[in-house]
Amino acid sequence: MTIAKRESIHGQWSSRLAFVLAATGAAVGLGNIWKFPYILGQNGGGAFVMVYLACILLVATPILITEIMLGRRGRRSPVNAMAELVREERAPPAWRYLGWMSVVTGFLILSYYSVIMGWAIAYVKQAATGSFTGLDGASIKGMFESFVASPMELLFWHTVSIVITMLVVARGVRAGLESFTTLFMPLLFVILLLLVGYGMSTGAFGQALGFLFAPDFSKLTATSIVVALGHAFFTLSIGFGTIMAYGSYMPERASIASTALFIVAADTAVSLLAAMAIYPVVFAHGLEPGAGPGLVFQTLPIAFGQMPLGLMFGTLFFVALVLAAWTSSISMIEPVVAYFVESRGWTRGRAVVVLGFAAWALGILTVLSFNHWAEIRLFGKNFFELLDFVTSNIMLPFGGLMMAVFATWFMRRSSTVEELGLSNAAYTLWRVLTRYVAPLGILVVLLNGLGLLG
Query: Smallest distance from the beta carbon of 204 to ligand TRP, in angstroms?
Result: 26
Q: CA 416 to CA 407: how far, in whole Å?
A: 7
x/- track of binding to ligand TRP for residues 196-235 (CB under 6 A): --------------------------------------xx
3-state percent breakdown (helix, strand, coil) of the chain, nearest 5:
80, 0, 20
Residue 191 interacts with ligand TRP (CB under 6 A): yes or no: no
Query: Smallest distance from the beta carbon of 67 to ligand TRP, in angstroms?
Result: 10
Q: Give the residue, chosen from 24, 32, 114, 161, that forms a contact with ligand TRP under the rule CB under 6 A.
A: 32
Q: How far apart are the first and last CA of the chain?
A: 49
For 400, the enclosing helix (H) or strand (E) is helix 396-405
Q: Give the residue, chosen from 8, 61, 224, 331, that forms a contact with ligand TRP under the rule CB under 6 A.
A: 331
Residue 337 interacts with ligand TRP (CB under 6 A): yes or no: no
Residue 242 interacts with ligand TRP (CB under 6 A): yes or no: yes
Query: Is residue 246 a contact partner of residue 331, using CB atoms and an 8 Å limit?
Result: yes
Contacts of 201 (CB under 8 A, 6+ apart): none
Q: CA 115 to CA 375: how far, in whole Å?
A: 19
Residue 26 interacts with ligand TRP (CB under 6 A): yes or no: yes
Query: Is residue 229 a contact partner of residue 442, using CB atoms and an 8 Å limit?
Result: yes
> Which one, 32 or 126, has the nearer CB to ligand TRP?
32
Count of residues touching ligand TRP (by CB under 6 A): 16
Residue 165 interacts with ligand TRP (CB under 6 A): yes or no: no
Residue 61 interacts with ligand TRP (CB under 6 A): yes or no: no
Residue 240 interacts with ligand TRP (CB under 6 A): yes or no: yes
**Residues paired with residue 378 on neighbouring β-strands, in sequence order:** 381
C-alpha neighbours within 13 Å on the C-beta side of residue 201: 8
Residue 319 interacts with ligand TRP (CB under 6 A): yes or no: no
Contacts of 450 (CB under 8 A, 6+ apart): 226, 394
Region binding ligand TRP by CB under 6 A among candidate stretches 29-37, 42-50, 149-157, 368-376: 29-37
Count, residues in the chain: 454
Q: Give the residue, chosen from 21, 81, 109, 166, that forms a contact with ligand TRP under the rule CB under 6 A.
A: 109
Residue 102 interacts with ligand TRP (CB under 6 A): yes or no: no
Q: Measured on CA atoms in the order 315, 319, 324, 325, is the torsion positive or negative?
A: positive
Q: CA 115 to CA 273: how far, in whole Å?
A: 24
Q: Give the residue, chosen from 10, 29, 248, 301, that forms a contact with ligand TRP under the rule CB under 6 A.
A: 29
Q: Where are the alpha helices (DSSP H) in 43-201?
A: 46-55, 61-74, 78-89, 97-128, 137-148, 151-170, 179-181, 184-200
Residue 248 interacts with ligand TRP (CB under 6 A): yes or no: no
C-alpha neighbours within 13 Å on the C-beta side of residue 449: 22
Residue 237 interacts with ligand TRP (CB under 6 A): yes or no: yes
Residue 46 interacts with ligand TRP (CB under 6 A): yes or no: no
Residue 400 interacts with ligand TRP (CB under 6 A): yes or no: no
Q: Measured on CA atoms in the order 227, 338, 266, 287, is the torsion positive or negative?
A: negative
Q: CA 305 to CA 133: how far, in whole Å?
A: 4
Query: Is residue 20 a contact partner of residue 326, using CB atoms and an 8 Å limit?
Result: no
> Which one, 116 or 433, has the nearer CB to ligand TRP?
116
Region binding ligand TRP by CB under 6 A among candidate stretches 22-30, 89-97, 205-213, 361-369: 22-30
Helix 348-369 with 151-170: angle, nearest 10 deg:
160
Give the distance from CA 233 to its chain's centroid.
7
> Which one, 109 or 387, has the nearer CB to ligand TRP?
109
Q: Give the residue, chosen from 188, 191, 332, 352, that forms a contact with ligand TRP under the rule CB under 6 A.
A: 332
> Which one, 169 or 422, has the nearer CB to ligand TRP?
169
Q: Give the residue, chosen from 61, 111, 165, 328, that forms a contact with ligand TRP under the rule CB under 6 A.
A: 328
Position of minimal CB gap to ligand TRP: 31
Query: Smallest distance from the beta carbon of 76 to ligand TRP, in angstroms?
Result: 18
Residue 63 interacts with ligand TRP (CB under 6 A): yes or no: no
Contact residues for ligand TRP, defined by CB under 6 A: 26-27, 29-32, 109, 234-235, 237, 240, 242, 328, 331-332, 396
